[in-house]
Amino acid sequence: MSMAQTSLIATVYNDREGTELFLARMEEQTRRPDEIIVCDAGSTDGTWELLRRYEASGAIPLVALQERKCRPARGRNLAASMAQHATLTVTDIGCGWEPQWLEELVAPFDSIADLEAVMGSWKVRWEDQQTHWAKADYALQNGLELRATPRSHAANRAIAYRKDFYFRLGGLPEDLSFAADDMTFALLIQNLGTAIAAAPEPRCYWLRPQSLGQLLREARRNFRGNGEAGIGLKHFVLVGGRLIAELLGALIVPIGLALHLPVAILIAAAVLPAGSIFLRALRWREIVRRFGERGCAVSPVHLAVLDYLSRWYGLRGYMQGMVHGFRHCMTCRVRLRSAKISWA
C-alpha cells in the first residue's frame, strides 16, 4: 500500500530561531513532509526572509505565505487551503520534534482508508525549564504531557487530518482573538468525527515560556480564548468562586476588627477560606516533596506565587473573553451549539 502524502502546515510571527530549528528538524524526519506551508503574520526579525530563501532552495518543498496581523487560526486555514495533498499535518513552530514524530503521526492514514483525523501526543520536558518560574509551572501542571487516545483533545502542535474532513468541519474558528481555536476544533472533531486514531508516543516537545510575565500573559490569553468560545464555564465558576472566597477571608478579619465585630463571627466567617488556603499549602508542599524525590528542585515560593497569579490572570482573561465573545465570536459559539457542545 502506498503511503499517504501529507502537507505540513504551521504559522509563525517573529521567531527566526524557532523557524530555523523547525526546518532543520523536518529535514531529519524519518518520513519527511511532502510539502511544508507556513503562514507568516508579518515578521520583522528576518523570519520571512528565511522562509523565502528556503522556499527557493530548501531540501523540502515549501510554500511561504504572508498576511500581516494574521491570527493563528486564519493562518492555518490559509495554509490548509493551499495544501496539495489529501492529508494535513499541523504543528507549532517553537516546539521540538524527534525524528520519528511525523512518521508515527501520519502512519494510521496508510492503513485505515476512511480515517478522518489522528490525535497526536506531546509533552514538556523538565530539562527544558531554565528558570524557577518555568520549573514551578512544570510542577504545578504535573509535567504537562498528553499521551493521546482517539478521544483526546489534541492541540495544534501535533495533529493530522484528512483535508476534506478539516474543511467539512469548517476549519479552525477565525473569530477568536488568539487562543482556544484548537480546543474548539477538537470538541467539534470528537462530536462530529466517526473515524479517529491516535499516535500515543509523545515525540513533540512543547517549549514553554520561561519568565513570570510570559507565563501570566499565556494564562490570560488562553482563558480569554475559552471565554470567547464560551467553553469551560464550570471551571471558571469553581476556580473563581474559590479565589474570591479566599480573598474575602483574608480581608474579613482586619475589616471586622475595624468594625468591632464579635470575635466568634470573625472566626466563623474565616474558617472556610482559611481551610481552602491551608489545602493549597498542603498541595504545594506535596508537589515540592514529590518533585524533590525525582531530583527536580522546585521553589515553594515561586510555586505559590505562580499558582495564585496565574489563576487570577486566567480569570481576568476569561471574563474579558466572555464580554468580547458576545459581540465578536458568535460564529464560533453557533458552531459549538449546532454540534450540541455545552458551555461546560
Is 135 within a domain? Answer: yes
237 plus 197 within the same structural domain: no
Provide the residue range defining the domain that includes 304.
227-338
Which of 179, 210, 241 represents a domain boundary (last residue)?
A: 210
Which of 210, 236, 271 represents a domain boundary (last residue)?
A: 210
Is 219 within a domain? Answer: no
Q: Are 72 and 45 in contact (CB under 8 A)?
A: no
Interatomic CA distance for residues 340 and 187, integer angstroms: 10
E strands, the chain, are 6-12, 35-40, 62-66, 87-90, 95-97, 117-120, 122-123, 145-146, 159-162, 196-199, 204-206
Is 343 within a domain? Answer: no
116 plus 17 within the same structural domain: yes
122 plus 264 within the same structural domain: no
What's the pTM? Answer: 0.90
151 plus 245 within the same structural domain: no
> What's the structural domain count of the chain?
2
Angle at 14 between CA 8 and CA 19, to 5 degrees: 40
197 plus 248 within the same structural domain: no
Is 276 within a domain? Answer: yes
CA distances in angstroms from 247 to 310, 320, 330, listed in the order given: 15, 20, 33
Phi and psi at residue 95, in whole multiples of 5°? -100, -175
326 plus 202 within the same structural domain: no
Is 222 within a domain? Answer: no
DSSP state of 122: E
Q: Is 343 exposed, middle or buried (0-12, 13-18, 19+ CB in 10 A)?
A: middle
pLDDT, tens digit only, all 344 positions of the chain: 567 899 999 999 999 999 999 999 999 999 999 999 999 999 999 999 999 999 999 999 999 999 999 999 999 999 999 999 999 999 999 999 999 999 999 999 999 989 999 999 999 999 999 999 999 999 999 988 999 999 999 899 999 999 999 999 999 999 998 889 999 999 999 999 999 999 999 999 999 999 999 999 999 999 999 999 999 988 889 988 888 888 877 777 677 667 766 767 666 667 778 888 899 999 999 999 999 999 999 999 999 999 999 999 999 999 999 999 999 999 999 999 988 887 65
Is 85 within a domain? Answer: yes
Give residues with Cβ within 8 angstroms of 207, minimum separation 6: 94, 95, 96, 128
CATH code, domain carrying 31:
3.90.550.10
235 plus 322 within the same structural domain: yes
What strands, in cross-sheet order, belong to the sheet with 87-90?
Answer: 62-66, 35-40, 6-12, 87-90, 159-162, 117-120, 196-199
311 plus 190 within the same structural domain: no
161 plus 232 within the same structural domain: no
269 plus 196 within the same structural domain: no
Q: Are 87 and 106 in contact (CB under 8 A)?
A: yes
Q: Cell numbers of 169, please? A: 468541519
Q: Cell numbers of 210, please? A: 520561561
CA distances in angstroms from 230 to 84, 160, 164, listed in the order given: 34, 25, 26
Is 1 within a domain? Answer: no
Q: Cell numbers of 3, please? A: 503511503
Interatomic CA distance for residues 283 and 299, integer angstroms: 13
162 plus 125 within the same structural domain: yes
Is 103 within a domain? Answer: yes
284 plus 246 within the same structural domain: yes
Which of 210, 240, 263 represents a domain boundary (last residue)?
A: 210
